[in-house]
Amino acid sequence: MNRSATTLFIIFATLCFVLEFEAKTIDPYKVLGVDKTASQREIQKAFHKLSLQYHPDKNKAKGAQEKFAQINNAYEILSDEQKRKNYDLYGDEKGNPGFEAGHPGGPGHSGFNFRPGEQWSSGGQGGSNSFSFSFGGGSGDSNSFGFGLDDLLGNFFGDFGSSFRSQSGPKSSPKSFKAINSNIYKKEIVDEGMTWLLLSYTPSLKGIQQFESTIEEISSTLQGALKVGSINCEKEVSLCKELGIYPRKAPRIFVYSYKENEKGSLVEYGGNLAVKDLKAFCQQHLPGFSKRIDLNQLDQVGTTGKLPRVLLLSSKKNTPVIWRVLSGLYRKRITFGDVEVHDSDLRVEKLGVDALPAIVGWLPNGEKVILKTGVFVKDVKSGVQDLSNILDSFEKVSKKKTSSQSKKAQADSEDGHIQLLSRSNFEALCGEKTPVCIIGAFRSSKAREKLESRLSLVSQMSLSRKPNGGGSSRDSISYAVLDAAKQQSFLNAFDKTGYKSSDKLLIAYKPRKGKFAVFMGDMTIEEVENFISSVLSGDIPFRETYKKPVLK
């Protein structure tokens, strides 16, 4: 047998081996323990039960990890309508032509018979079914397959075929790597909230394929949690030098991380080129904007604030990867938190949660919303997408609610109506968008009537502002009254005594600066007007609050 024929024989023998290996894929129905007529709901329930039973974090028995991988693979096939249909018809979820049930790759396959120069025929029982590839042994390095050898390998091996060819083929970045230039870096990476794994290289460097192979495996295992890109520093010289990532003797690996800097920054990986080590490094540098809440602080989570808030309740000891990813993507729009709880905890029931994991949201006014209970996600990528849809809807509701409350507060102010300060209207009346909030604190119904009357009259006046302040007094100030007897902790934020000895007082509060001034004199129209005019003109000194005032 000449060298060319020997090479062809080895290649096709390898093909036979791989095809037979793939043919032994375990029946997904048997793996999940469901009938072929099972509904998607039945398949999902079976998967959920088995994945919990064999999860490597919980099951340390020998073979549990392999079983867990089989369960995930089976669910991936049966949960996808097209893959399930292909498997039922061909015994192969990809639906490769000629791979029907009973054919090579199908459940009835038991092997291949192969002799150079002849057809390939199925070697199963009742082997009347066959398929063939005509070829002839050519001289030298030529072949007469009717299509290129690369095409054949590509059709059968898929991604594995690319790896098989790369041993001797030209160097090129895998398709999963996005080529990064200066424009893409600034628009898609910088401060966008997503973690990136980046490879900087020049084509002349040795060992690029090993780096690419390792990074590509990380990309597949953390799909949805990070994105992967490569920077050819021979083409993007200025970008590489600007970022300080130009490779010298070998390619370099970086993670665009939010761990060290809230705005994101490049952190170089200096460890071994091993999948396990690099994966741990990437997970370590995923966004960490979700605040870990102590179980005893659950009652304080829903306090008012500038942004809407979401809280993940789960049995996880650490913040789940999906929640960390989302906390990065929404870090400027929603405040994140997570807490470890269990179904038996009574505090979970008080929140209105009937199943874990669960996501609870609070609007800026303190209003609570149950966003999702019994959360189930198939993987990180689909989980991020599904939960993003929930968060987007919640954000829209928050903006709509805040806008309507602001308009109502403005209308009430123009009508001279003074509102009672509460969690629901605090953001609209005394939030950070309000330069100055005048709060009339009362401890009796008589004091309340007097304060409301005085503030209502003054709110209709055109008061002078500090020179060059711009706008009108109505744009700069809002008015409200506060029940001091019920909101003592709120007053303690301004003074340790909480002004307990005062039946009524006025507080001028600047939310943006966290400063305030107090008036406790006679509440005549003239005195109230003078106090507020002095506040607007800057004639009254302000001091810092002890802490941020929060309403119960």
Q: What is the 3-state secondary structure (H, E, C) of 362-430?
A: ECCCCCEEEEEECCCCCCHHHHHHHHHHHHHHHHHHHHHHHHHHHHHHHHHHHCCCCEECCCCCHHHHH
Is-contact 355 332, C-beta < 8 A?
no
Mean pLDDT, range 502-525, rounded to an integer: 92
Q: Residue 172 pLDDT more than 70?
A: no
pLDDT tens per residue across span 228-269? 999 999 999 999 999 999 998 999 999 999 875 678 899 999
Quick one: 10 and 110 in the same domain?
A: yes
Mean pLDDT, range 312-329, rounded to an integer: 93
- Return the pLDDT at 348: 78
Mean pLDDT, range 462-491, rounded to an integer: 69
d(CA 503, CA 463): 27
Quick one: 55 and 105 in the same domain?
A: yes
Quick one: 464 and 509 in the same domain?
A: yes
Q: Residue 493 pLDDT more than 50?
A: yes
Quick one: 365 and 478 in the same domain?
A: no
pLDDT tens per residue across span 442-470? 999 999 999 999 998 888 776 644 433 44
Q: Residue 380 pLDDT more than 70?
A: yes
Q: Last residue of a domain, which of 133, 164, 195?
A: 164
Q: Residue 133 pLDDT more than 70?
A: no
Does 410 map to a domain? no
Structurally, the chain folds into a number of domains equal to 4
Quick one: 148 and 234 in the same domain?
A: no
Does 550 map to a domain? no
Q: Residue 19 pLDDT more than 70?
A: no
- Grade residue 304 by pLDDT with cuts at 50, 70 and 90: low
- Return the pLDDT at 199: 96
Is-contact 430 511, C-beta < 8 A?
yes
Print burial letters for 342-366: b (CB count within 10 Å at least 16), e (below 16).
eeebeebeebebeebbbbbbbbbbb
Does 157 map to a domain? yes
Q: Residue 511 pLDDT more than 60?
A: yes
Quick one: 302 and 397 in the same domain?
A: yes
Does 409 map to a domain? no
Q: Residue 106 pLDDT more than 60?
A: no
Between 95-109, 141-155, 167-181, 344-358, the lowest mean confidence (pLDDT) is in 141-155
Q: Which two tokens stand for residue 220?
A: 């597949």
Does 375 map to a domain? yes
Is-contact 32 40, C-beta < 8 A?
no
Task: Say what the pTM is.
Answer: 0.51
- Return the pLDDT at 226: 93
Domain that holds residue 221: 178-284
Quick one: 428 and 389 in the same domain?
A: no
Quick one: 376 and 510 in the same domain?
A: no
Between 94-103, 108-117, 390-399, the lowest mean confidence (pLDDT) is in 108-117
Q: Which residue has the higher pLDDT, 98 or 407?
A: 407
Q: Residue 137 pLDDT more than 60?
A: no
- Return the pLDDT at 123: 36
- Return the pLDDT at 120: 32
Quick one: 153 and 187 in the same domain?
A: no
Q: Last residue of a domain, which of 361, 377, 402?
A: 402
Mean pLDDT, range 331-351, rounded to an integer: 84
Is-contact 185 245, C-beta < 8 A?
no
Does 173 map to a domain? no
Q: Last residue of a domain, which of 164, 188, 216?
A: 164
- Grade residue 132 by pLDDT with cuts at 50, 70 and 90: very low
Quick one: 253 and 389 in the same domain?
A: no
By CB neighbour count within 10 A (0-12 exposed, 13-18 middle, 19+ buried), where does 51 fall? middle
Quick one: 500 and 531 in the same domain?
A: yes
Q: What is the number of alpha carbons within 13 Å of residue 122 lying toward its C-beta?
A: 22
- Return the pLDDT at 252: 95
- Return the pLDDT at 500: 87
Tokens 């949690």 — which residue? 225
Q: Which residue has the higher pLDDT, 149 or 98?
A: 98
Mean pLDDT, range 277-291, rounded to an integer: 93
Does 439 map to a domain? yes
Sheet of 368-373: strand order equals: 290-292, 335-340, 309-314, 358-362, 368-373
DSSP three-state, residue 140: coil
Query: In the beta sheet, which residues pair with residue 483?
Result: 442
- Indicate the average pLDDT of the chain: 77
- Looking at 275-379, list the stretches that DSSP marks H as alpha helix, in order from N- to C-terminal side: 275-284, 321-329, 346-350
Quick one: 481 and 363 in the same domain?
A: no
Looking up residue 444, the CATH number of its domain turns out to be 3.40.30.10
pLDDT tens per residue across span 207-225? 888 899 899 989 888 989 9
- Grade residue 387 by pLDDT with cuts at 50, 70 and 90: very high
